[in-house]
Amino acid sequence: MRILIVSQYFWPESFRINDLAEWFVERGHEATVLTGLPNYPEGAFFKGYGIIGPYREEHNGVEIIRTPLIPRRGGGGLMLALNYISFALSASVLGPIMVRGKFDAIFVFQTSPATVGFPAIVMKYLKKTPMFFWVLDLWPESLSAVGAVKSKGVLDLVARMVRFIYKRCDRVLVQSRGFIPNVSLLGAECKTLYFPSWAEDIYKPAPPQGDVTLPEGFKVMFAGSIGAAQSFETILSAAERLKDHKDIHWVVLGDGRMLPWVRDEVARRGLGNHVHLFGRRPVEAMPGFFAAADAMLVTLKKEPAFALTIPAKIQSYLACGRPVIAALDGEGARVVEEAEAGVACPAEDADALAKAVLSMRDMPREEREGMGRSGRVYYDKTFNRENLFKTLENWMLDMIKNPDSPKTP
């Protein structure tokens, strides 16, 4: 097959769409990516990139075609809006000029923003190609949940935009079964398929290692984006409640728009000896860091939209065979409990999170490690990368053979 991937984000930005594109090439398919200039998460163009390009590259056999965009800079509302709109416009106008030839399928990677659907629709109709739209972030629900948009009128406008996009997809894929009712209400009722996220092959049980020395004691590790959705207020409040437990350390690996606030709050609350901010680390180092932790932490705000999602870090934690503390509601908590991979507590409940940490610390080490092993078994059964990719490949091949089929089984 010749596959066109439309994604605002791609290598050297770190997103799972990179892994999927390279797998297509390994399977003997041709993969072309229509994307923007890399600027996530720092908000500035990556070194070697700028307004003059480069606009054509190849990486591990994947052809990359980039179009201009306005970088997100500090990540404020105005700059994010300009970032989203500029890519949607430039990719819609320049994409048809820069992307040549016919394609068998278009695959859209839709984490925020949903506006990535517009250039994909343009390419779908010009190339006369079926479009698969993978929803990892519900719009407009997530915009409301993080407080990015409060106006009902604007949210209604976004809902109409998303409905316009869904109705023009041949298949809408969702990363959580909890998304299906919301997606169906916005026009994808007869063509919604469950396609969860996975962890790259690098995520597997590994010996403890890292390029920094971690504190001695019981280490609760958070790895990933530090944003409004992750409810760091809950983490810091739980850390305050456990200040007297000198052996408990909160290790944070990651970056994001809330990091300056977190850093200031750690200082203000006198948590410098308890909360350790190590910044972003290479993906390749993550399994070693995870292995050095006693428990991995995943958190989300208490919002209906977030109760429907499965944070991608859960798959990474499970794949590495580490016990998990899940301070969230809904689908993510269900996965951790169903996998018997750790303990779950309600979102935004600092008291419950503190108790969960104490419970995990006080249980025998072998019991914790047993949770990690159970999580790995569940991962292999439910989120196996190779199985998921082959399923997607089969859906695409079936669509090519049966283009008028109303729904893939």
Same domain, 103 and 37: yes
Q: Is 179 domain-assigned?
A: yes
Which tens digits make up the pLDDT trace of 20-79?
999 999 999 999 999 999 999 889 999 999 999 999 999 999 999 999 999 998 777 889
Tell me the pTM. 0.90
Domains held by the chain: number: 2
Return the minimum-mean-pLDDT range out of 26-35, 41-50, 187-196, 371-380: 187-196
Q: Please, which residues have CB within 8 angstroms of residue 190's CB and are 6 or more apart in sequence? A: 406, 407
In the structure encoding, which two tokens stand for residue 23, read together? 């797998």
Mean pLDDT within 69-96:
92
The answer, yes or no, to whether residue 189 has pLDDT greater than 80, is no
Same domain, 191 and 278: no
Rounded CA separation 394/89 (Å): 32
Mean pLDDT within 219-248:
96
Q: Is 205 domain-assigned?
A: no
Please indicate whether residue 326 or residue 209 has the higher confidence score (pLDDT): 326
Instruction: Give the domain CATH number at 138.
Output: 3.40.50.2000
Same domain, 394 and 363: no
Q: Is 204 domain-assigned?
A: no
Same domain, 242 and 191: no
User: b/e per residue, 188-220, with b = 16+ CB within 10 A?
Assistant: beebbbebbbbbbeebeebeeebeeebeeebbb
What Cα–Cα distance (Å) separates residue 17 from each residue in 246, 329, 406, 408?
41, 26, 26, 22
The answer, yes or no, to whether residue 342 has pLDDT greater than 70, is yes
Mean pLDDT within 80-106:
96
Same domain, 397 and 360: no
The answer, yes or no, to whether residue 244 has pLDDT greater than 70, is yes
| Residue 211 binned pLDDT confidence (cut-offs 50, 70, 90) | low
In the structure encoding, which two tokens stand for residue 63, read together? 């052809």
Same domain, 378 and 388: no
Same domain, 101 and 156: yes
pLDDT value at position 151?
A: 86
- The domain in which residue 282 lies consists of 218-382
Mean pLDDT, all residues of the chain: 94
Return the minimum-mean-pLDDT range out of 11-25, 65-79, 393-407: 393-407
